[in-house]
Amino acid sequence: MSGARVVPRKFIRLAAAAVVLFVSIGLLEVGVRALAGMGYLPALRRGGADDSFWDGRHPVYGVWHKPAASRLHKTACFQIVYRTNSIGARDVERSLRSTRPRVVVLGDSMLEGWGLPLEKRTTNILEARTGVEHINLAMSHFGPYQEYLAYATLGRRYSHTAVLVGIHPFNDFYDLDYEVGQHSPGYLYAYRPYLVGTYPEYQRVDYRESGRERWLRRHVQTWNAFSLLWGRIGGPEEGFDRPAPFQTPAGIVRSRYYDFTPAQFDLLRYCLEQIVRAADGKTVVVVLMPAPPDFLRYAQSGESPLAVRLEALGRVGGFRLVDLLPPMYRQTDTWEDYSFKCDYHWNAYGGAVAAEVLEARLRGVIY
């Protein structure tokens, strides 16, 4: 026994400390997952950024759906199964060629029909009423630049006579902002293409997470929780993880119809100009789609500067503007009825009213 090797105490202490650290991290991870499961932490929502349905690393758009896939989307106020066609769009199969008038639809989750069955979606209602096919390429989490990319690479493959572009000011200015994307760890997709520079000299920059960060994001919720905390401490004053206060100290409701910077407008302007150029003479309609705060601000301030500027830009830039805010404001005194109770997206009623307004405004234009 005298020849037995004695393990130095310092190694025993290090091993014990390692075990304690490992167990502590494991318990912390269990706790974070439990809190996230109860709704107290948003960390877990970042884990599903790419899976069998969502392609969170698409080389062109940053995010897209997997082709011929399905996914159950369940929240506190709706339950819906999404299905995609052979190109990954949430739409029925469309032929590449047709002799009839057709509309290519670009936008984000509002026009994709977040939480809605296809027959309740705005573009499907328009298709049923007018008999004009609406090739829906709208995608949740798209911004105007991604919408242009989707049109340039997918939309133009299909014969069509018009393009309908949905702009959702509530988050589209965020979606165009490279700095916001870099400092918003809670944003669902950790990669997307951006434009950087000054109008009209922009360059594309692809923001990507590393392989290590992706693994941690998908598998370690403690990492996500601390990333969110760090973003709150060191990130920009406003962004995906830190939206602006609902009201200013003066009581004015914040709305992106009114509260945007010249640089943000220039980015939007550039993307719309690129879509018009790619449309090559086809009719282009830009639709402004309001969120709940926009109705409250409209009641306070009247006509929005965003609508005024886009109307003027459209007259010289080759597109027609339809602002849904004023007519939807006048439709009812209870604007919250347009949206899901747990979400700002349009519910079936909101989608139907939007379709009714668009059909009336675009008769003789694209219908």
- Between strands 283-288 and 320-323, the pairing is parallel
Same domain, yes or no, for 320 and 248? yes
Q: Are residues 37 and 150 in the same domain?
A: no
- Using the predicted structure, report yes or no on whether residue 192 has a pLDDT greater than 80: yes
- Write out the residue range of the structural domain in which residue 101 sits: 51-362
In a domain, 189, yes or no: yes
- Mark whether 34 and 56 lie in a shared domain: no
* 117: Cβ contacts below 8 Å, ≥ 6 apart: 80
Please indicate, yes or no, whether residues 290 and 179 belong to a single structural domain of this protein: yes
The kind and range of the H/E element at 145 are helix 144-153
Domains of the chain: total: 2
Instruction: With respect to residue 20, please indicate whether it lies within any of the assigned structural domains.
Output: yes
What is the CATH number for 222?
3.40.50.1110
Q: Does the residue 172 lie in any domain?
A: yes
Does 276 share its domain with 196? Answer: yes
pLDDT digits 0-9 by tens, 196-237: 999 999 999 998 777 777 777 777 777 777 776 666 666 556
Residues with Cβ < 8 Å from 74, sequence gap 6 or more?
Answer: 80
Q: What is the pLDDT of residues 1-44, one digit of tens each?
A: 455 565 577 777 777 777 777 777 777 777 777 776 666 665 45
Residue 321 falls inside a structural domain = yes
- pLDDT at residue 48 in the model: 46
Q: What is the pLDDT of residue 47?
A: 45
Residue 66 belongs to a domain = yes
Residues 19 and 75 occupy one common structural domain: no
Residue 2 within any structural domain of the chain: no
In whole angstroms, how far apart are CA 263 and each of 184, 293, 363? 19, 22, 34
- With respect to residue 211, please indicate whether it lies within any of the assigned structural domains: yes
**One domain for residues 75 and 94:** yes
Q: Are residues 18 and 162 in the same domain?
A: no
201 & 286 share domain: yes
Q: Give the type of residue at 249.
A: P
Split at pLDDT 50, 70, 90, the class of 360 is: very high
Q: Is residue 148 part of a domain?
A: yes
Average pLDDT over residues 303-323: 97
Whole-number mean pLDDT of the chain? Answer: 87
| Among 55, 189, 152, 171, residue whose Cα is nearest residue 109 | 171
Q: Are residues 61 and 199 in the same domain?
A: yes
CA distance 353 to 300: 22
Q: Each residue of 231-285: pLDDT tens digit?
A: 666 655 666 656 666 667 778 999 999 999 999 999 999 999 999 999 999 999 9
Residues 61 and 128 in one domain: yes
Task: List the one residue out of 300, 222, 286, 203 whose CA is nearest residue 258.
Answer: 300
My answer on whether 35 and 56 are in the same domain is no
Label the pairing between strands 201-207 and 192-198. antiparallel
